[in-house]
Amino acid sequence: MKMVFRWFGENDDSVTLNEIKQIPGMTGVVSALQDIPVGEVWPQEKIKELKNEINQAGLELKVIESVNIHEDIKLGLKSRDKYIENYKKTLKNLAAEGIKVVCYNFMPVFDWLRSDLAQELEDGSTTMAYDESWINSTDPVKLVEEFDENSEGFSLPGWEPERLAELKGIMEQYEDISEKDLLSNLKYFLEAVMPTCEENDIKMAVHPDDPPWPIYGLPRVVTGKENLRTILEMVDNPYNGLTLCSGSLGSNPANDVPALIREFGSRVHFSHVRNLNFDGKGKFHETSHLSTDGSLDLFEIMKAYYDSGFDGYLRPDHGRMIWGEKARPGYGLYDRALGATYINGLWEAITKMDS
Ligand code: DNO
């Protein structure tokens, strides 16, 4: 396991590379060129600059989160081929700078979704929460506006305010797209990029839908065991793999996260580890990583990774806001650093118990 930390770049993150470097056991960061519009080619020179900046801080850049997929690819429009060609060029440029894994998602229109970015917990910390009934009774445009207002001045990936104008139109385009269509559009995309991945030794790692069920009538297909199996089997190539996110998949209690890790282990190229508490049907809030704070058992999750021989990249995922920190929701320094240390502790104990 190689422990990494998400970093949004010096202009868009309150956390610095030096701070990240001081977290025990941290080997690198996962990052992205935030300014390149979806669908355009990432220039190698810019990737190199980002990598050099990270390397100068004594950290590696081996994983990109995310190279987003243009909506035309998800919709299966004719224009998708142009965007797929661009994606392939980006993959080549990334591989030339030593990138090994690309995280992406295939969620129509929205990326991850929460109903509250700062729900107060008993100890005075704040966390992100989800309540399906609130989501269903809230207009998506209003929701994006609220997200923008409450995000401490950071633009949340997938929630850029400039998308607001197009939101309704894009949602309408999905009216005729079934889950089957979406899966087949994913297959088309993956089949097209696999040769580039093989030639350049760079792996694709699809991130689960968050939450892992359809929202606003939009189809979602990276949701649980059956779909994950279908996605891996329909393009049965080791370069087609997963970002296994415990918090996304785990927000549906039907998903047994350790069992998923055990089943798909060799195809998990990147791992997101976080915890959450089930508050009822379609309702949950994120917690500290500690098993006793949430509904997921982090020991069982790390044990499943260990037993599967996992040697990929893993990062602590969303943290609460603690100790008065003001940061991008979910992505402050303190609680994620605690999470990394806890995960490292579990890993050391599991490893030593086995020797
Ligand atoms: C949320 C993140 C997601 C993830 C993308 C992957 O905090 O886990 O935004 O990066 O879905 O493309």
Q: Which residue has its alpha carbon closest to ligand 1 atom 12?
A: 104
Which has the closest alpha carbon to 274: 313, 336, 317?
317
Atom of ligand 1 nearest to the CA of 243: 6
Instruction: Report the pLDDT value the prediction gives residue 163, as an integer from 0 to 100.
Output: 66
Angle between helices 44-56 and 80-96 (to 10 degrees): 40
Strands 313-316 and 268-273: parallel
Is residue 13 part of the annotated active site? The answer reads no
**Domain CATH code at residue 191:** 3.20.20.150
Q: How many residues does the chain have?
A: 355
Angstrom distance (rounded) from CA 272 to CA 337 = 14
Above 90 in pLDDT, residue 333? yes
Instruction: Report the pLDDT value the prediction gives residue 152, as an integer from 0 to 100.
Output: 76
The one-letter amino acid at 318: H
Is residue 318 part of the annotated active site? The answer reads yes
Above 80 in pLDDT, residue 164? no
pLDDT for 82-132, tens place per residue?
A: 999 999 999 999 999 999 999 999 999 888 889 999 999 999 999 999 999
**How many CA atoms are closer than 13 Å to the CA of 176, on its beta-carbon side?**
4
Contacts of 118 (CB under 8 A, 6+ apart): 126, 127, 128, 150, 321, 329
Angstrom distance (rounded) from CA 36 to CA 30 = 16
Q: Catalytic pick from 305, 318, 334, 335?
A: 318
Residues forming beta bridges with residue 101, ordered by sequence position = 63, 203
Q: Which residues span the domain enclosing 96? A: 2-353
In angstroms, the first-to-last Cα distance of the chain is 17
Above 90 in pLDDT, residue 166? no
Task: Compute the mean pLDDT over every residue in the chain, rounded to the nearest whole number.
Answer: 94
pLDDT for 173-216, tens place per residue?
A: 999 999 999 999 999 999 999 999 999 999 999 999 999 999 88
Above 90 in pLDDT, residue 28? yes
**Ligand 1 interacting residues, C-beta cut-off 6 A:** 65-66, 103-105, 111-112, 157-158, 207, 272, 318, 330
Above 70 in pLDDT, residue 158? no
The best mutation among 29, 104, 105, 251 to test binding of ligand 1, ranked by most ligand atoms within 8 Å of the C-beta, falls on 105
- Tell me which residue has tokens 């039907």: 254
pLDDT for 215-262, tens place per residue?
A: 888 999 999 999 999 999 999 999 999 999 999 999 999 999 999 999
pLDDT for 50-79, tens place per residue?
A: 999 999 999 999 999 999 999 999 999 999
Is residue 245 part of the annotated active site? The answer reads yes
Angstrom distance (rounded) from CA 321 to CA 288 = 10
Q: How far is the CA of 112 from the centre of ligand 1 (A)?
A: 6
Atom of ligand 1 nearest to the CA of 318: 7
Atom of ligand 1 nearest to the CA of 247: 8
pTM: 0.96
Q: How far is the CA of 72 from the centre of ligand 1 (A)?
A: 19
Above 70 in pLDDT, residue 157? no
Q: Which residue has its alpha carbon closest to ligand 1 atom 2?
A: 112
Q: Catalytic pick from 70, 207, 269, 285?
A: 207
The best mutation among 38, 64, 65, 314 to test binding of ligand 1, ranked by most ligand atoms within 8 Å of the C-beta, falls on 65
Domains in the chain, number: 1
Angstrom distance (rounded) from CA 147 to CA 155 = 9
Atom of ligand 1 nearest to the CA of 158: 9
